[in-house]
Structure 1
Amino acid sequence: MKNIYSILILLFFCNLTNAQDKEVDFNTAIKSHIKKYNIQSDIAHENKETEKAQVLFDSLVANHLVGTKFEDFKFKSFGVKNVKLSSYNKPVFILTYASWCIPSKGEIPALNKLAQKYAKNVKFIILFWDKKFKVKDIARKFNHNIAVCYANESYKNDATIVSNLKHTLGFPTSYFLDQNLRVVNIKRGGAQPPSKSSYVKAYTMNYNAFREGLGSLLIEKNISNEQLTTN
Protein backbone atom coordinates (compact mmCIF):
# COMPACT_ATOMS: atom_id res chain seq x y z
CA MET A 1 0.00 0.00 0.00
CA LYS A 2 2.85 2.31 0.92
CA ASN A 3 4.54 1.56 -2.39
CA ILE A 4 1.37 2.34 -4.34
CA TYR A 5 1.02 5.65 -2.47
CA SER A 6 4.62 6.53 -3.31
CA ILE A 7 4.06 5.72 -6.98
CA LEU A 8 0.94 7.91 -7.07
CA ILE A 9 2.87 10.82 -5.56
CA LEU A 10 5.66 10.32 -8.09
CA LEU A 11 3.20 10.27 -10.99
CA PHE A 12 1.51 13.41 -9.67
CA PHE A 13 4.77 15.36 -9.57
CA CYS A 14 5.84 14.02 -12.97
CA ASN A 15 2.59 15.25 -14.50
CA LEU A 16 2.94 18.58 -12.71
CA THR A 17 6.47 19.01 -14.02
CA ASN A 18 5.40 18.12 -17.56
CA ALA A 19 2.58 20.65 -17.36
CA GLN A 20 4.96 23.34 -16.14
CA ASP A 21 7.54 22.49 -18.80
CA LYS A 22 5.00 22.57 -21.60
CA GLU A 23 5.87 25.48 -23.83
CA VAL A 24 3.18 28.06 -24.54
CA ASP A 25 3.37 29.82 -27.88
CA PHE A 26 2.91 33.58 -28.18
CA ASN A 27 -0.02 33.31 -30.60
CA THR A 28 -2.05 31.20 -28.17
CA ALA A 29 -1.21 33.40 -25.20
CA ILE A 30 -2.09 36.66 -26.90
CA LYS A 31 -5.39 35.31 -28.22
CA SER A 32 -6.32 34.06 -24.75
CA HIS A 33 -5.79 37.41 -23.02
CA ILE A 34 -6.03 40.22 -25.57
CA LYS A 35 -9.82 40.64 -25.43
CA LYS A 36 -9.90 41.28 -21.68
CA TYR A 37 -6.87 43.55 -21.94
CA ASN A 38 -8.41 45.61 -24.76
CA ILE A 39 -11.62 46.18 -22.79
CA GLN A 40 -9.74 47.37 -19.71
CA SER A 41 -7.26 49.40 -21.74
CA ASP A 42 -10.00 51.15 -23.74
CA ILE A 43 -11.75 52.16 -20.51
CA ALA A 44 -8.50 53.51 -19.07
CA HIS A 45 -7.78 55.56 -22.21
CA GLU A 46 -11.37 56.87 -22.34
CA ASN A 47 -10.93 58.06 -18.75
CA LYS A 48 -7.53 59.54 -19.66
CA GLU A 49 -5.84 57.26 -17.11
CA THR A 50 -2.55 57.00 -18.95
CA GLU A 51 -0.63 55.46 -16.06
CA LYS A 52 -3.28 52.80 -15.53
CA ALA A 53 -3.22 51.95 -19.24
CA GLN A 54 0.55 51.47 -19.04
CA VAL A 55 0.20 49.28 -15.95
CA LEU A 56 -2.34 47.12 -17.78
CA PHE A 57 0.04 46.72 -20.72
CA ASP A 58 2.99 45.88 -18.50
CA SER A 59 0.86 43.38 -16.57
CA LEU A 60 -0.26 41.64 -19.77
CA VAL A 61 3.35 41.33 -20.89
CA ALA A 62 4.81 40.22 -17.56
CA ASN A 63 2.08 37.79 -16.54
CA HIS A 64 1.06 36.23 -19.85
CA LEU A 65 3.54 36.92 -22.67
CA VAL A 66 7.08 36.79 -21.26
CA GLY A 67 8.49 33.30 -21.74
CA THR A 68 6.13 32.36 -24.58
CA LYS A 69 7.57 31.10 -27.86
CA PHE A 70 7.35 33.36 -30.91
CA GLU A 71 6.37 31.76 -34.20
CA ASP A 72 9.29 31.47 -36.61
CA PHE A 73 7.91 34.21 -38.82
CA LYS A 74 9.29 34.90 -42.28
CA PHE A 75 9.15 38.60 -43.17
CA LYS A 76 9.37 40.17 -46.61
CA SER A 77 12.49 42.33 -46.73
CA PHE A 78 14.10 45.07 -48.79
CA GLY A 79 17.31 43.06 -48.56
CA VAL A 80 18.58 40.29 -50.80
CA LYS A 81 16.31 37.69 -49.22
CA ASN A 82 13.38 37.43 -46.84
CA VAL A 83 13.97 37.41 -43.10
CA LYS A 84 13.34 34.18 -41.15
CA LEU A 85 13.73 34.71 -37.42
CA SER A 86 15.37 31.37 -36.59
CA SER A 87 18.10 31.87 -39.18
CA TYR A 88 20.07 34.31 -37.01
CA ASN A 89 20.78 32.10 -33.96
CA LYS A 90 20.98 35.15 -31.72
CA PRO A 91 18.55 37.45 -29.86
CA VAL A 92 16.18 39.47 -32.03
CA PHE A 93 14.80 42.97 -31.57
CA ILE A 94 11.68 43.71 -33.66
CA LEU A 95 10.14 47.18 -33.82
CA THR A 96 6.83 47.57 -35.65
CA TYR A 97 5.94 50.77 -37.53
CA ALA A 98 3.65 52.06 -40.26
CA SER A 99 4.42 54.67 -42.91
CA TRP A 100 1.72 56.95 -41.51
CA CYS A 101 3.12 56.63 -37.96
CA ILE A 102 6.00 59.13 -38.04
CA PRO A 103 8.97 58.23 -35.77
CA SER A 104 9.76 60.89 -33.18
CA LYS A 105 12.68 63.29 -33.54
CA GLY A 106 16.01 61.49 -33.21
CA GLU A 107 14.40 58.03 -33.16
CA ILE A 108 15.84 56.61 -36.39
CA PRO A 109 19.38 57.94 -35.74
CA ALA A 110 19.23 56.40 -32.25
CA LEU A 111 18.20 53.04 -33.69
CA ASN A 112 20.94 53.26 -36.33
CA LYS A 113 23.56 53.97 -33.69
CA LEU A 114 22.43 51.08 -31.48
CA ALA A 115 22.29 48.69 -34.44
CA GLN A 116 25.82 49.72 -35.43
CA LYS A 117 27.03 49.07 -31.88
CA TYR A 118 25.22 45.79 -31.14
CA ALA A 119 24.71 44.17 -34.57
CA LYS A 120 27.03 41.28 -33.67
CA ASN A 121 24.96 40.41 -30.60
CA VAL A 122 21.38 41.20 -31.63
CA LYS A 123 19.51 41.13 -34.94
CA PHE A 124 17.64 44.41 -35.50
CA ILE A 125 14.40 44.23 -37.52
CA ILE A 126 12.05 47.08 -38.40
CA LEU A 127 8.67 45.75 -39.53
CA PHE A 128 6.30 48.12 -41.35
CA TRP A 129 2.58 47.34 -41.61
CA ASP A 130 2.46 48.57 -45.18
CA LYS A 131 2.77 47.65 -48.81
CA LYS A 132 6.30 47.72 -50.21
CA PHE A 133 5.98 50.89 -52.30
CA LYS A 134 4.77 52.89 -49.27
CA VAL A 135 7.82 51.95 -47.20
CA LYS A 136 10.52 52.29 -49.86
CA ASP A 137 11.51 55.90 -49.10
CA ILE A 138 11.64 55.67 -45.31
CA ALA A 139 13.46 52.33 -45.49
CA ARG A 140 16.51 54.17 -46.86
CA LYS A 141 16.87 56.07 -43.58
CA PHE A 142 17.87 52.92 -41.67
CA ASN A 143 21.44 51.70 -41.91
CA HIS A 144 22.61 48.34 -43.25
CA ASN A 145 22.69 46.77 -39.77
CA ILE A 146 18.88 46.88 -39.65
CA ALA A 147 16.67 44.57 -41.70
CA VAL A 148 13.76 46.66 -42.94
CA CYS A 149 10.71 44.49 -43.61
CA TYR A 150 7.05 44.93 -44.44
CA ALA A 151 3.80 42.98 -44.11
CA ASN A 152 0.28 43.60 -45.36
CA GLU A 153 -3.02 41.75 -45.29
CA SER A 154 -3.12 41.69 -49.08
CA TYR A 155 0.21 39.86 -49.40
CA LYS A 156 0.49 36.09 -49.53
CA ASN A 157 1.43 34.43 -46.23
CA ASP A 158 1.18 37.69 -44.24
CA ALA A 159 -2.24 37.05 -42.68
CA THR A 160 -0.89 35.25 -39.59
CA ILE A 161 1.78 37.88 -38.99
CA VAL A 162 -0.74 40.72 -39.24
CA SER A 163 -3.31 38.92 -37.09
CA ASN A 164 -0.95 38.03 -34.24
CA LEU A 165 1.11 41.21 -34.11
CA LYS A 166 -0.56 44.20 -35.76
CA HIS A 167 -4.13 43.42 -34.72
CA THR A 168 -3.24 42.62 -31.12
CA LEU A 169 -0.67 44.98 -29.58
CA GLY A 170 -0.72 47.55 -32.36
CA PHE A 171 2.26 49.78 -33.14
CA PRO A 172 4.81 51.08 -32.52
CA THR A 173 5.70 48.04 -30.40
CA SER A 174 9.12 46.59 -29.53
CA TYR A 175 9.57 42.83 -29.17
CA PHE A 176 12.70 41.50 -27.47
CA LEU A 177 13.30 37.79 -28.18
CA ASP A 178 16.10 35.52 -27.03
CA GLN A 179 18.01 33.30 -29.47
CA ASN A 180 15.35 30.58 -29.05
CA LEU A 181 12.61 33.09 -30.00
CA ARG A 182 11.16 33.21 -26.51
CA VAL A 183 9.72 36.57 -25.44
CA VAL A 184 12.02 38.34 -22.99
CA ASN A 185 10.13 41.63 -22.98
CA ILE A 186 7.68 43.75 -24.98
CA LYS A 187 7.52 47.54 -24.84
CA ARG A 188 5.78 50.40 -26.56
CA GLY A 189 7.93 52.06 -29.26
CA GLY A 190 10.43 54.75 -28.40
CA ALA A 191 10.66 57.54 -25.84
CA GLN A 192 8.15 60.00 -27.39
CA PRO A 193 9.99 63.18 -26.36
CA PRO A 194 8.05 66.50 -26.24
CA SER A 195 7.71 68.13 -29.66
CA LYS A 196 9.74 71.15 -28.54
CA SER A 197 12.69 69.03 -27.40
CA SER A 198 16.05 69.74 -28.98
CA TYR A 199 17.44 67.16 -31.38
CA VAL A 200 20.15 66.11 -28.92
CA LYS A 201 17.64 65.63 -26.08
CA ALA A 202 15.22 63.70 -28.31
CA TYR A 203 18.03 61.53 -29.65
CA THR A 204 19.30 60.84 -26.13
CA MET A 205 15.84 59.94 -24.81
CA ASN A 206 15.23 57.51 -27.68
CA TYR A 207 18.71 56.02 -27.45
CA ASN A 208 18.31 55.36 -23.74
CA ALA A 209 14.77 54.01 -24.10
CA PHE A 210 15.75 51.45 -26.74
CA ARG A 211 19.01 50.67 -24.96
CA GLU A 212 17.07 49.89 -21.79
CA GLY A 213 14.99 47.38 -23.71
CA LEU A 214 18.08 45.85 -25.28
CA GLY A 215 19.49 45.46 -21.79
CA SER A 216 17.15 42.50 -21.34
CA LEU A 217 19.07 40.80 -24.16
CA LEU A 218 22.56 42.10 -23.42
CA ILE A 219 24.88 42.34 -20.44
CA GLU A 220 26.81 45.50 -21.13
CA LYS A 221 28.14 48.61 -19.40
CA ASN A 222 25.67 51.24 -18.29
CA ILE A 223 24.51 53.71 -20.92
CA SER A 224 25.72 56.64 -18.76
CA ASN A 225 29.28 55.40 -19.27
CA GLU A 226 29.00 55.32 -23.04
CA GLN A 227 30.09 58.17 -25.26
CA LEU A 228 27.00 59.70 -26.82
CA THR A 229 27.39 60.78 -30.44
CA THR A 230 24.92 61.76 -33.11
CA ASN A 231 26.94 60.50 -36.06
Structure 2
Amino acid sequence: MKILHITILSFIFIFSANCQENKNSFNYVIKTNIKKYNLESNQAFENNDSEKGQILFDSLVSNHLIGTDFEDYTIKSFDKKKIKLSSFNKPIFILTYASWCIPSKGEIPALNKLAQKYANDVQFVILFWDKKHTVKKIARKFNHNITVCYANESYKNDASIVANLKHTLGFPTSYFLDEKLKVINIKRGGAQPDNKSSYVKAYTMNYNNFREGLGSLLIEKNISKEQLSTN
Protein backbone atom coordinates (compact mmCIF):
# COMPACT_ATOMS: atom_id res chain seq x y z
CA MET A 1 0.00 0.00 0.00
CA LYS A 2 2.88 2.34 0.75
CA ILE A 3 4.33 1.67 -2.69
CA LEU A 4 1.01 2.60 -4.31
CA HIS A 5 0.85 5.79 -2.23
CA ILE A 6 4.36 6.84 -3.29
CA THR A 7 3.59 6.05 -6.93
CA ILE A 8 0.46 8.20 -6.89
CA LEU A 9 2.31 11.10 -5.27
CA SER A 10 5.11 10.79 -7.83
CA PHE A 11 2.58 10.82 -10.67
CA ILE A 12 0.88 13.92 -9.25
CA PHE A 13 4.24 15.69 -8.91
CA ILE A 14 5.32 14.85 -12.46
CA PHE A 15 1.92 15.80 -13.87
CA SER A 16 1.94 19.14 -12.01
CA ALA A 17 5.47 19.91 -13.20
CA ASN A 18 4.54 19.20 -16.79
CA CYS A 19 1.47 21.42 -16.51
CA GLN A 20 3.53 24.42 -15.42
CA GLU A 21 4.09 26.86 -18.26
CA ASN A 22 7.62 27.00 -19.59
CA LYS A 23 8.80 30.46 -18.56
CA ASN A 24 11.43 30.40 -21.30
CA SER A 25 8.87 29.72 -24.02
CA PHE A 26 8.37 32.38 -26.67
CA ASN A 27 4.63 32.36 -25.95
CA TYR A 28 5.11 33.00 -22.21
CA VAL A 29 7.72 35.73 -22.71
CA ILE A 30 5.76 37.56 -25.39
CA LYS A 31 2.61 37.53 -23.24
CA THR A 32 4.62 38.90 -20.32
CA ASN A 33 6.16 41.79 -22.26
CA ILE A 34 3.78 42.64 -25.10
CA LYS A 35 1.49 45.00 -23.14
CA LYS A 36 4.30 47.37 -22.17
CA TYR A 37 5.79 47.17 -25.65
CA ASN A 38 2.45 47.99 -27.30
CA LEU A 39 1.89 51.01 -25.07
CA GLU A 40 5.32 52.46 -25.84
CA SER A 41 5.31 51.62 -29.56
CA ASN A 42 1.79 53.03 -30.01
CA GLN A 43 2.97 56.25 -28.41
CA ALA A 44 5.95 56.37 -30.76
CA PHE A 45 3.61 55.76 -33.72
CA GLU A 46 1.31 58.60 -32.62
CA ASN A 47 4.36 60.88 -32.44
CA ASN A 48 5.46 59.78 -35.93
CA ASP A 49 8.70 58.58 -34.38
CA SER A 50 9.46 55.52 -36.49
CA GLU A 51 13.07 55.43 -35.30
CA LYS A 52 12.00 55.02 -31.67
CA GLY A 53 9.45 52.40 -32.74
CA GLN A 54 12.24 50.35 -34.34
CA ILE A 55 14.43 50.78 -31.26
CA LEU A 56 11.62 49.50 -29.06
CA PHE A 57 11.11 46.47 -31.29
CA ASP A 58 14.83 45.68 -31.39
CA SER A 59 14.98 46.02 -27.60
CA LEU A 60 12.06 43.62 -27.14
CA VAL A 61 13.76 41.07 -29.37
CA SER A 62 17.31 41.35 -28.02
CA ASN A 63 16.42 41.67 -24.32
CA HIS A 64 13.55 39.20 -24.09
CA LEU A 65 12.82 37.05 -27.15
CA ILE A 66 16.21 35.81 -28.39
CA GLY A 67 16.98 32.49 -26.72
CA THR A 68 13.36 31.59 -25.98
CA ASP A 69 11.83 28.26 -26.98
CA PHE A 70 9.55 28.57 -29.99
CA GLU A 71 6.36 26.51 -29.99
CA ASP A 72 6.51 23.32 -32.06
CA TYR A 73 3.55 24.38 -34.16
CA THR A 74 1.84 22.11 -36.64
CA ILE A 75 1.56 24.12 -39.85
CA LYS A 76 -0.53 23.43 -42.94
CA SER A 77 1.30 23.49 -46.27
CA PHE A 78 -0.11 23.30 -49.77
CA ASP A 79 1.78 20.20 -50.84
CA LYS A 80 2.55 18.25 -47.65
CA LYS A 81 -0.54 19.07 -45.62
CA LYS A 82 0.27 19.15 -41.86
CA ILE A 83 3.89 19.46 -40.73
CA LYS A 84 5.40 19.92 -37.27
CA LEU A 85 8.22 22.47 -37.22
CA SER A 86 10.48 20.01 -35.39
CA SER A 87 10.19 17.55 -38.29
CA PHE A 88 12.39 19.78 -40.48
CA ASN A 89 15.44 18.88 -38.34
CA LYS A 90 17.39 21.98 -39.41
CA PRO A 91 17.34 25.74 -38.80
CA ILE A 92 14.13 27.42 -39.95
CA PHE A 93 13.43 30.81 -41.46
CA ILE A 94 9.74 31.72 -41.13
CA LEU A 95 8.40 34.79 -42.91
CA THR A 96 4.81 35.80 -42.16
CA TYR A 97 2.75 37.41 -44.90
CA ALA A 98 -0.83 38.18 -45.89
CA SER A 99 -2.23 38.14 -49.42
CA TRP A 100 -3.31 41.78 -49.14
CA CYS A 101 0.21 42.83 -48.11
CA ILE A 102 1.88 43.15 -51.53
CA PRO A 103 5.59 42.13 -51.57
CA SER A 104 7.94 44.83 -52.78
CA LYS A 105 9.57 44.72 -56.21
CA GLY A 106 12.09 41.86 -56.43
CA GLU A 107 11.15 40.44 -53.02
CA ILE A 108 9.87 37.02 -54.07
CA PRO A 109 12.69 36.42 -56.62
CA ALA A 110 15.22 37.29 -53.89
CA LEU A 111 13.62 34.78 -51.52
CA ASN A 112 13.56 32.13 -54.24
CA LYS A 113 17.25 32.66 -54.99
CA LEU A 114 18.24 32.44 -51.32
CA ALA A 115 16.07 29.35 -50.77
CA GLN A 116 17.74 27.67 -53.73
CA LYS A 117 21.22 28.60 -52.48
CA TYR A 118 20.73 27.58 -48.83
CA ALA A 119 18.21 24.74 -49.19
CA ASN A 120 20.58 22.24 -47.55
CA ASP A 121 21.25 24.46 -44.54
CA VAL A 122 17.95 26.23 -43.79
CA GLN A 123 14.27 25.39 -44.15
CA PHE A 124 12.39 28.30 -45.70
CA VAL A 125 8.75 28.70 -44.62
CA ILE A 126 6.32 31.37 -45.84
CA LEU A 127 3.29 31.59 -43.55
CA PHE A 128 0.26 33.46 -44.87
CA TRP A 129 -2.40 34.73 -42.44
CA ASP A 130 -5.12 33.71 -44.89
CA LYS A 131 -7.41 30.90 -45.90
CA LYS A 132 -6.00 28.34 -48.30
CA HIS A 133 -7.96 29.40 -51.38
CA THR A 134 -6.97 33.05 -50.88
CA VAL A 135 -3.23 32.44 -51.20
CA LYS A 136 -3.32 29.60 -53.71
CA LYS A 137 -2.39 31.83 -56.64
CA ILE A 138 0.45 33.74 -54.99
CA ALA A 139 1.85 30.51 -53.52
CA ARG A 140 2.82 29.39 -57.03
CA LYS A 141 5.32 32.26 -57.25
CA PHE A 142 7.58 30.65 -54.63
CA ASN A 143 9.92 27.86 -55.71
CA HIS A 144 9.90 24.28 -54.43
CA ASN A 145 12.58 24.98 -51.81
CA ILE A 146 10.09 27.12 -49.88
CA THR A 147 7.29 25.54 -47.84
CA VAL A 148 4.24 27.78 -48.31
CA CYS A 149 1.72 27.53 -45.44
CA TYR A 150 -1.42 29.23 -44.22
CA ALA A 151 -3.23 29.92 -40.95
CA ASN A 152 -6.41 31.83 -40.20
CA GLU A 153 -8.58 32.85 -37.25
CA SER A 154 -11.51 30.94 -38.72
CA TYR A 155 -9.68 27.61 -38.38
CA LYS A 156 -10.05 26.40 -34.79
CA ASN A 157 -6.64 24.69 -34.68
CA ASP A 158 -4.90 27.92 -35.68
CA ALA A 159 -5.96 29.93 -32.62
CA SER A 160 -2.62 29.60 -30.81
CA ILE A 161 -0.30 30.45 -33.69
CA VAL A 162 -2.51 33.38 -34.77
CA ALA A 163 -2.68 34.78 -31.23
CA ASN A 164 1.03 34.40 -30.44
CA LEU A 165 2.48 35.55 -33.76
CA LYS A 166 0.05 37.56 -35.87
CA HIS A 167 -1.64 39.43 -33.01
CA THR A 168 1.60 40.27 -31.20
CA LEU A 169 4.40 41.22 -33.60
CA GLY A 170 2.27 41.71 -36.71
CA PHE A 171 3.54 41.09 -40.25
CA PRO A 172 5.62 40.86 -42.29
CA THR A 173 7.87 39.45 -39.58
CA SER A 174 10.85 37.10 -39.98
CA TYR A 175 11.58 34.44 -37.34
CA PHE A 176 14.98 32.73 -37.34
CA LEU A 177 15.04 29.47 -35.35
CA ASP A 178 17.77 26.90 -34.84
CA GLU A 179 17.17 23.18 -35.34
CA LYS A 180 15.94 22.87 -31.74
CA LEU A 181 13.43 25.72 -32.31
CA LYS A 182 15.39 28.19 -30.20
CA VAL A 183 14.83 31.79 -31.29
CA ILE A 184 18.06 33.14 -32.82
CA ASN A 185 16.63 36.40 -34.13
CA ILE A 186 13.42 38.18 -35.17
CA LYS A 187 13.18 40.97 -37.72
CA ARG A 188 10.14 43.01 -38.72
CA GLY A 189 9.41 44.45 -42.12
CA GLY A 190 11.91 44.26 -44.96
CA ALA A 191 13.71 46.23 -47.60
CA GLN A 192 11.67 49.15 -48.84
CA PRO A 193 12.81 50.16 -52.32
CA ASP A 194 10.85 53.13 -53.66
CA ASN A 195 8.73 52.96 -56.79
CA LYS A 196 11.46 54.60 -58.83
CA SER A 197 14.04 51.95 -57.97
CA SER A 198 15.12 49.70 -60.83
CA TYR A 199 14.31 46.02 -60.60
CA VAL A 200 17.99 45.17 -60.10
CA LYS A 201 18.33 47.65 -57.24
CA ALA A 202 15.10 46.45 -55.58
CA TYR A 203 16.09 42.81 -55.95
CA THR A 204 19.53 43.47 -54.49
CA MET A 205 18.08 45.37 -51.52
CA ASN A 206 15.70 42.51 -50.73
CA TYR A 207 18.36 39.85 -51.24
CA ASN A 208 20.82 41.59 -48.90
CA ASN A 209 18.13 42.25 -46.30
CA PHE A 210 17.07 38.59 -46.08
CA ARG A 211 20.66 37.36 -46.35
CA GLU A 212 21.63 39.47 -43.35
CA GLY A 213 18.94 37.79 -41.28
CA LEU A 214 19.96 34.34 -42.48
CA GLY A 215 23.53 35.07 -41.40
CA SER A 216 22.64 34.54 -37.74
CA LEU A 217 21.23 31.08 -38.53
CA LEU A 218 24.20 30.03 -40.64
CA ILE A 219 26.66 31.18 -37.98
CA GLU A 220 24.73 29.32 -35.28
CA LYS A 221 24.67 26.15 -37.39
CA ASN A 222 28.44 26.31 -37.97
CA ILE A 223 29.05 26.79 -34.25
CA SER A 224 26.90 23.72 -33.50
CA LYS A 225 28.87 21.66 -36.04
CA GLU A 226 32.16 22.73 -34.48
CA GLN A 227 30.95 21.83 -30.99
CA LEU A 228 29.84 18.37 -32.16
CA SER A 229 33.18 17.73 -33.84
CA THR A 230 35.15 18.59 -30.67
CA ASN A 231 33.02 16.43 -28.34
Alignment TM class, shorter chain as reference: 0.7 to 0.9
The sequence identity of aligned pairs, in percent, is 76
Deviation string, structure 1 residues 60-99 (Cα, Å, up to 9, x no partner): 0000100000000011110123221100111000000000
Counterpart position of 1:211: 211
**Equivalent residue runs for 1:165-204 within 5 Å:** 165-204=165-204
- Whether 1:36 and 2:36 are equivalent positions in the alignment is yes
User: Residue type of the partner of 2:93?
Assistant: F
1: distance between equivalents of 2:86 and 2:219?
22
* Separation in structure 2 between the aligned mates of residue 23 and residue 179 of structure 1, nearest angstrom: 20
AA matched with 2:124: F
Cα deviation digits, residues 184-210 of structure 1 (max 9, x gap): 000013211112111100000000000
- Distance of 2:201 and 2:219 partners within structure 1: 25
Q: Secondary structure, in 3 states, of the residue corresponding to 1:217?
A: helix
Counterpart residue type for residue 33 of structure 2: H
Distance 1:82 1:123 in 2: 15
Consecutive unaligned residues of structure 1, counting only runs of 5 or more, are: 1-21, 221-231
The residue number in structure 1 matching 2:226 is: none
- Which position in structure 1 is the counterpart of 2:113? 113
What is the alpha-carbon distance in structure 2 between the residues aligned to residue 143 and residue 209 of structure 1? 19
Secondary structure in 2 matching 1:157:
helix
**Alpha-carbon separation, structure 2, partners of 1:122 and 1:71:** 18
Structure whose residues are more often helix by fraction: 2
2:94 alignment counterpart: 94
Compute the RMSD of aligned alpha carbons: 1.3
> Is the CA contact 2:116–2:145 (under 8 Å) kept in the aligned structure 1?
yes
Aligned to 1:79: 79
Structure 2 counterpart of 1:151: 151
Structure 1 distance, partners of 2:189, 2:37, is 19
1:110-157 Cα distance to aligned partner (Å, 9 max, x none): 000000000110000000000011100000000000000000011131
What corresponds to 1:64 in structure 2? Answer: 64
Q: State the partner residue of 2:126.
A: 126
How many angstroms apart in 2 are the aligned matches of 1:189 and 1:90?
Answer: 24
User: 2 CA distance for matches of 1:33 and 1:213?
Assistant: 23
Instruction: Give the secondary structure class of the aligned counterpart of 2:52.
Output: helix
Question: Does structure 1 conserve the Cα–Cα contact (< 8 Å) formed by 2:23 and 2:29?
Answer: no
TM-score by structure 1 length?
Answer: 0.84
Match in the other structure for 1:225: none
- The answer to which of 77-86 and 198-207 deviates more is 77-86
In structure 1, C-alpha distance between the alignment counterparts of 2:34 and 2:88, rounded to whole Å: 29
CA displacement 1:27-83 (0-9 Å, x = unmatched): 000000011101100111111111110000000000010000000001111012322
Stretch moving more, 39-48 or 78-87 = 78-87
Amino acid paired to 1:162: V
Instruction: Give the drift of 1:219.
Output: 3.7
How far did residue 23 of structure 1 move? 6.2
